């Protein structure tokens, strides 16, 4: 019996792929799951290759696992994910401790690959097509969780000039509605209270297999699932947000009023260079439409600073836009020059020093916005899902916060369990955190 451990890097979509790989492996009794990397036989690293920092982090983890192999702690090292899809030859040539690699479209071969490495005692390169075949009967590794990510599509057709996803993961590749609904039902039956819908561009879901976008149709099926408390949508591209989508979110309490809208920039000139649809005016129109229809809508966005040719005027436009909209949640990336993309070949690349300065300026503004919004919640009661317990303190999130990337709530109270959904009275706040006390239900 061999013990197998996983390390998952990058975005939530990789977490879903890891769940699928675990299911492929652990349906065979000769393999068992092991959490401790220093007490295992096989390490599988699911890498990220999206931007430079993520690539370097993945390489560092691979090299650490390679040392475990050299020290005789583990027997086999397998690497999969976005980094292998992009750099299969380099990884195999430069890190001889790697026994096998798989790509973004071949991770379903994981169990066969382990079997083959054990039997053949030779290195294997199983990286092939980037597009995964969703037609097969996929199962998730059955772990009791209170929330799970569900990937409804892979790949992307947007071809933004800065993004490497289309040639890592391929074009838009949607799953059937029936398959997604069945997966969610199983997850809810196993204790999931929150399902987080993810794709590279969630709003494009279904266009490739149904001929038109079908996110609203999918949501109308998911809201009928009993005991599914929250449905959260990630990566809702603003140019594809329709009145129908706003309406279905507005009219269904179990869909979180959480709009994760990757805008990247407000300057019309930079947006055109990025190959992003829609003008600043159109962005403001859709944002106002959301706010006017849903009073408590939470707006999250991600931005890129230091895109090639970004002038001080472009940056000032972005600062003005942030101050005007006052996003509830905001993340910033410093532009990363990704080989193979159109932006990597553009003139007027911005220096790291200017990128850092602009990044810090935006975060300084957003910190104040976030603190002021949090202050408004003091003495109010909010619904909170409990994510973890650290010593005597419980940490959770409101329906307006996604795990790991958004604000947290520190909760005081008795008879609390991870996975509970509680009413919490907010008593204090910091820039990105809330403090509160559980409100006991009347007996």
What is the C-alpha separation between 219 and 203, in angstroms, rounded? 11
CB neighbour list of residue 232: distance below 8 Å, 6 or more residues apart: 194, 195, 196, 197, 256, 258, 399, 402
What is the C-alpha separation between 101 and 303, in angstroms, rounded? 33
Q: pLDDT for 377-424, tens place per residue?
A: 999 999 999 999 988 889 999 999 999 999 999 999 989 999 999 999
Q: What is the CATH number of domain 2-126?
A: 3.40.50.12160
* pLDDT, position 138: 85
The mean of the pLDDT values for the chain is 94
CATH class of segment(s) 381-438:
mainly beta
CB neighbour list of residue 53: distance below 8 Å, 6 or more residues apart: 336
* pLDDT, position 72: 94
- The answer to whether 273 and 304 are in contact (CB under 8 A) is no
CA distances from 286 to 204, 258, 261, 373 (A): 17, 14, 10, 21
The domain 147-375 belongs to what CATH superfamily?
tm_1862 like domain (3.80.30.20)
What is the C-alpha separation between 146 and 193, in angstroms, rounded? 5
Q: pLDDT for 263-320, tens place per residue?
A: 999 999 999 999 999 999 999 999 999 999 999 999 999 999 999 999 999 999 999 9
What is the C-alpha separation between 302 and 235, in angstroms, rounded? 10
Q: pLDDT for 159-208, tens place per residue?
A: 899 998 888 889 999 999 999 999 999 999 999 999 999 999 999 999 99
Q: CB count, 10 Å around CB of 178?
A: 9
Nearest to 351 by CA among 380, 315, 294, 308: 308
Supply the pTM of this predicted model: 0.93
What is the C-alpha separation between 361 and 253, in angstroms, rounded? 36
Q: pLDDT for 2-43, tens place per residue?
A: 999 999 998 888 999 999 999 999 988 899 999 999 999 999
Nearest to 385 by CA among 270, 262, 256: 256
- Listed by start position, the domains of the chain span 2-126, 147-375, 381-438
Under the banding of pLDDT at 50, 70 and 90, the label for residue 443 is: very low
Nearest to 20 by CA among 95, 76, 102: 102
Structure tokens at 210: 């149904």
What is the C-alpha separation between 214 and 200, in angstroms, rounded? 15
């Amino acid at each position: 019996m061999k013990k197998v451990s996983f390390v998952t890097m990058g975005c939530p979509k990789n977490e879903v792929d890891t769940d699928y790989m675990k299911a492929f492996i652990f349906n065979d009794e000769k393999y068992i799951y092991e959490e401790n990397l220093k007490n295992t036989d096989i390490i599988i690293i699911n890498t990220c290759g999206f931007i430079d920092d993520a690539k370097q982090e993945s390489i560092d983890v691979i090299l650490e696992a390679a040392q475990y192999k050299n020290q005789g702690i583990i027997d086999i090292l397998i690497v999969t994910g976005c980094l292998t899809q992009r750099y299969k030859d380099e990884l195999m040539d430069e890190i001889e401790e790697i026994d096998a690699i798989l790509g973004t479209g071949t991770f379903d071969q994981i169990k066969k690959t382990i079997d083959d490495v054990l039997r053949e005692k030779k290195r294997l390169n199983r990286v092939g097509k980037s597009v995964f075949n969703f037609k097969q009967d996929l199962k998730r590794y059955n772990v009791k969780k209170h929330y799970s990510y569900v990937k409804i599509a892979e790949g992307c057709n947007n071809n933004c000039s800065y993004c490497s996803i289309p040639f890592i993961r391929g074009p838009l590749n949607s799953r059937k509605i029936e398959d997604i609904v069945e997966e969610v039902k199983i997850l809810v039956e196993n204790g999931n209270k929150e399902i987080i819908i993810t794709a590279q561009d969630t709003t494009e879901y279904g266009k490739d297999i149904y001929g038109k976008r079908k996110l609203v149709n999918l949501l109308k099926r998911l809201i009928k699932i009993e005991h599914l408390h929250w449905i959260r949508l990630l990566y809702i591209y603003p140019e594809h947000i329709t009145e129908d989508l706003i309406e279905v979110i507005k009219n269904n309490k179990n869909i979180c009023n959480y709009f994760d809208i990757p805008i990247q920039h407000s300057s019309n000139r930079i947006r055109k260079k990025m190959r992003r649809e829609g003008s600043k005016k159109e962005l403001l129109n859709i944002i106002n439409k959301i706010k006017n229809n849903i009073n408590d809508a939470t707006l999250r966005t991600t931005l890129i600073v230091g895109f090639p040719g970004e002038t001080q005027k472009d940056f000032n436009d972005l600062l003005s836009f942030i101050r005007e909209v006052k996003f509830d949640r905001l993340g910033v990336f410093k532009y990363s020059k990704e080989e193979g993309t159109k932006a990597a070949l553009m003139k007027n690349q911005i220096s790291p020093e200017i990128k850092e300065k602009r990044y810090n300026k935006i975060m300084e503004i957003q910190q104040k916005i976030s603190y002021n919004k949090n202050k408004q919640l003091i003495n109010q009661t909010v619904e909170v899902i409990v994510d973890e317990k650290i010593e005597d303190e419980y940490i959770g999130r409101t329906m307006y916060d996604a795990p790991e990337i958004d604000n947290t709530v520190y909760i005081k109270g008795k008879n609390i369990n991870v996975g509970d959904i509680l009413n919490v009275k907010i008593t204090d706040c910091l820039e990105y955190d809330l403090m509160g006390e559980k409100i006991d239900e009347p007996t």
